[in-house]
Amino acid sequence: MHLALFLIFGALCVAGALNLLLQRHPINSALSLIVVMSSLAVLYLLLGAEFLAAAQVIVYSGAIMVLFTFVIMLLNAGREERTRGSKMAYVIGFPGAAVLLALLADIFITHSGEFHRVHAGEYVVSTAALSGVLFRDLLLPFEVTSILILIAILGAVALARKEH
Amino acid sequence: METGLFTFLIVNLIKIVVVVVILLMAVAYTVLLERKLVGRIQNRWGPSRVGPFGLLQPLADGAKLFLKEDLMPFAVERPLYVLAPMIALGCALTSIAVIPFGANIQWHGVDLFQISDVSIGLLILLGITSVGVYGIALSGWSSNNKYSLLGALRASAQVISYELALGLALVGVVMRAGSLRLRDIVNVQTGHSLVAFLHWNFFGGFQFVAFFIYLMAAYAETNRAPFDLPEAESELTAGYHTEYSSMKFAMFFMAEYANMITVGCVATLLFFGGWTSPFGHFLSGSGPVSTAILSVFWFVAKVFFFLFLYIWVRGTLPRFRYDQLMGFGWTFLVPVAIANIVVTGLWMGLSLPAH
């Protein structure tokens, strides 16, 4: 059951991500991104992170992607033009991506014994347990992150403000 | 409790079908209720010709909408144009799945009055509502019509703005219950005395501020008057569903009324004690059968009250102006909701004994 769900939503996630890159109209790309986010939420749920799954849907699929589509609709963005791509992408991008992939694969293979294996559907992290970790054990990092976000918001306001 | 996968699927399928059919009937009759009530508010009769007191009007409306020609305008973005009403109605109907509409009565290990008892039920409701806005946004964009697009833009901006206030308003209730499971939230509010309604979050939990924020934000989320700017007929013809006809239009219509019912259910569960009797053991049933009937009765009665309120507000209040709408949401509702969280937290911290 869990394996079947994982396969279905994992495939959906990859298909959405590919569609995001291949679609030529921005709104289709944005919709594919919503599919990716939502199927990620299901994968979180399979791993027992129920709060994270719900937050993923509410924040990413709901709020952030609505803003994306809002902006695309407001700007009335047309179809993208196909270009050959920049030369830099071919010279540095593809070898770079290959190196990164090889590096990650190497780390995962050599250290695979040290990872803690989790089977899908094994346990569920309750919201209470999560908030215990977040607001008690990791309170300082949590608050520092919130200040970071506040600074980012202030920066956005300062940039968007009209000059007087 | 050990039931096979097959029986589990069959039983749940039956439950889903029954609930969806009842919900769709309720949607049809809410439309009639609205037409009747708004009629009386405006000093006219409302539908009265089809059947006794116009009671068969919803069936006639349904037949009419089915038989209308389904126009497909030339310039629309076809796949999204077809998909949009499905998203709207799908999300509106899905949210009923986590709502408990009666006491927790088990029959052969099956919960009779709830499709699925999820530990994050409230969050799932919020998630489904936040995805539901794509129905409106995409319908407006794919229609390739200025009025539709403006309606859709208004709807997205409005829903995002008010979702914040709505979510913050619910935090106080969740803090009191210490759980996101809807049944737990109701159980916190139960009392046994004759004035059990004083235990409701609205009175006892002192969450009436949260309730009014929730109510106003929910009216805005469901695009109902006085927040119905996405379909303001005097400015935008019909807003986001201008280009839709026949069953596609009906799907938007049903989604709106199903959302109204969901909002009524959530308000009932979170602030008004859900299916419990307002008078403690009085009129709450003794045997399993009478408990079942009376709990559903109280739930339906409370939801009916909220539907009535919806229609009453629609018949009474004029529409907001757009800048008023945004100002009200951001500069009034959100700060008050945050203040409510702080006050509730302080109150709980000071009144509960330290562990």
The tens digit of pLDDT for each residue in A16-65 reads 999 888 888 888 888 899 889 989 988 888 888 888 888 888 888 888 88
pLDDT bracket for residue A144 (50, 70, 90): very high
Q: Answer yes or no: is pLDDT of B324 > 90.
A: no
Q: Is A19 on the interface with B (CB under 8 A)?
A: no
Three-class secondary structure of residue A74 per DSSP: helix
pTM: 0.83
Q: Answer yes or no: is pLDDT of A6 > 70.
A: yes
Instruction: Give chain A positions within 8 Å (CB) of B129.
Output: 62
- The per-residue pLDDT for A101 is 93
Q: Answer yes or no: is pLDDT of B201 > 80.
A: no
Q: What is the pLDDT of residues A81-105, one digit of tens each?
A: 777 667 777 788 888 889 999 999 9
Kindly determine whether residue A58 and residue B137, on different chains, have CB atoms separated by under 8 Å. Answer: no
Q: Is B20 on the interface with A (CB under 8 A)?
A: no
The answer to whether residue B329 sits within a structural domain is yes
pLDDT bracket for residue A147 (50, 70, 90): very high
Q: What is the mean pLDDT of residues B254-279?
A: 86
CA distance B240 to A69: 15
**Residue of A28, A52, A57 to mutate, interface with B, max B Cβ within 10 Å:** A57
Are the C-beta atoms of residues B255 and B89 closer than 8 Å to each other? Answer: yes
Q: Answer yes or no: is pLDDT of B1 > 50.
A: no
Q: Which of B209-213, B264-268, B276-280 has the lowest mean pLDDT?
A: B276-280
Amino acid at A79: R
B window 29-68, beta carbon within 8 A of A: none
Are the C-beta atoms of residues B245 and B69 closer than 8 Å to each other? Answer: yes
Instruction: Give chain A positions within 8 Å (CB) of B94.
Output: none
What is the residue-averaged pLDDT of chain A?
A: 84
Q: Answer yes or no: is pLDDT of B354 > 70.
A: no
Instruction: Give chain B positions within 8 Å (CB) of A73.
Output: 137, 140-141, 149, 152-153, 156
Pairwise pLDDT comparison (A164 vs B105), residue with the higher score: B105
pLDDT bracket for residue A155 (50, 70, 90): very high
Kindly determine whether residue B131 and residue A124, on different chains, have CB atoms separated by under 8 Å. Answer: no
Q: Answer yes or no: is pLDDT of B338 > 80.
A: yes
Six token digits for residue B278: 């307002």
Kindly determine whether residue B141 and residue A27, on different chains, have CB atoms separated by under 8 Å. Answer: yes
Q: Which residue of chain B is at minimal alpha-carbon distance from A63?
A: B160
Instruction: Give chain A positions within 8 Å (CB) of B130.
Output: 57-58, 61-63, 66
The answer to whether residue B129 sits within a structural domain is yes
CA dist B34 → A32, B30, B78, B267, B309 (Å): 38, 6, 33, 19, 10
Q: What is the mean pLDDT of residues B259-287?
A: 81
A window 120-139, beta carbon within 8 A of B: 124, 126-128
Q: What is the mean pLDDT of residues B267-282?
A: 80
CA distance A67 to chain B (A): 8
Are the C-beta atoms of residues B181 and B275 closer than 8 Å to each other? Answer: no
Query: Could you tell me the residue range of the domain that residue B206 belongs to?
Result: 70-351
pLDDT bracket for residue B60 (50, 70, 90): confident
Q: Is B134 on the interface with A (CB under 8 A)?
A: yes
Three-class secondary structure of residue B87 per DSSP: helix
Residue B17 CA to its chain's centroid (Å): 19
Nearest to A73 among B129, B130, B152 (CB): B152
CA dist B37 → B40, B42, B244, B259, B355 (Å): 5, 9, 27, 19, 52
Q: Is A50 on the interface with B (CB under 8 A)?
A: yes
Pairwise pLDDT comparison (A154 vs A75), residue with the higher score: A154
The partner residues of A125 in beta bridges, in order of sequence, read: A49
Kindly determine whether residue A69 and residue B137, on different chains, have CB atoms separated by under 8 Å. Answer: yes
DSSP summary character for residue B191: -
Three-class secondary structure of residue B127 per DSSP: helix
Are the C-beta atoms of residues B153 and B175 closer than 8 Å to each other? Answer: no
Query: Which CATH number is associated with domain A1-79+119-124?
Result: 1.20.120.1200
Highest mean pLDDT of the ranges B97-111, B215-229, B303-317? B303-317
With CA atoms as reference, report the closest residue to B122 among B81, B52, B197, B172. B172
Range B327-355 burial, b when 16+ CB lie within 10 A, else e: ebbeeebbebbeebbeebeeeeeeeeeee
Instruction: Give chain A positions within 8 Å (CB) of B90.
Output: none
Q: What is the mean pLDDT of residues B224-252?
A: 78
Q: What is the pLDDT of residues A63-74, one digit of tens each?
A: 888 888 888 887
**Residue of B141, B145, B184 to mutate, interface with A, max A Cβ within 10 Å:** B141
CA distance B159 to B258: 17
With CA atoms as reference, report the closest residue to A64 among A26, A95, A37. A37
Q: What is the pLDDT of residues B151-167, one digit of tens each?
A: 888 888 888 888 888 88
Q: What is the mean pLDDT of residues B324-331?
A: 87
Q: What is the pLDDT of residues B85-111, one digit of tens each?
A: 888 899 888 888 888 887 777 776 677
What is the residue-averaged pLDDT of chain B?
A: 83
The percentage of residues in chain B with a pLDDT greater than 90, rounded to a whole number, is 1
Please, what is the Cα angle at A99 between A98 and A105, to 5 degrees?
A: 90
Q: How many domains is chain B built from? A: 1
CA distance A164 to chain B (A): 23
Q: What is the pLDDT of residues B119-148, one digit of tens each?
A: 888 888 888 888 888 888 888 888 888 888
CA distance B145 to B149: 6
- The per-residue pLDDT for A150 is 94
- The per-residue pLDDT for A164 is 62
Q: Is A49 on the interface with B (CB under 8 A)?
A: no
CA distance B100 to B102: 6
Nearest to B180 among A27, A63, A127 (CB): A127
Please, what is the Cα angle at B329 between B325 and B330, to 5 degrees?
A: 120
With CA atoms as reference, report the closest residue to A9 among A54, A41, A57, A47. A41
B110-111/B106-107 β-pairing: antiparallel
CA dist A96 → A88, B162, B221, B271 (Å): 11, 44, 46, 56
Kindly determine whether residue A69 and residue B160, on different chains, have CB atoms separated by under 8 Å. Answer: no
pLDDT bracket for residue B174 (50, 70, 90): confident
Q: Tokens 């992607």 appear where? A: A65
Q: Answer yes or no: is pLDDT of B286 > 80.
A: no
The answer to whether residue B10 sits within a structural domain is no
CA distance B227 to chain A (A): 19
Instruction: Give chain A positions within 8 Å (CB) of B81.
Output: none
Q: Is A103 on the interface with B (CB under 8 A)?
A: no
DSSP summary character for residue B198: G
- The per-residue pLDDT for B96 is 86
- The per-residue pLDDT for A163 is 66
Kindly determine whether residue A69 and residue B120, on different chains, have CB atoms separated by under 8 Å. Answer: no
Cβ-Cβ contacts under 8 Å between A and B: the total is 72
The answer to whether residue B42 sits within a structural domain is no
Nearest to A51 among B120, B130, B159 (CB): B120
CA distance B110 to chain A (A): 21
Element (H, E) at A11: helix A2-22
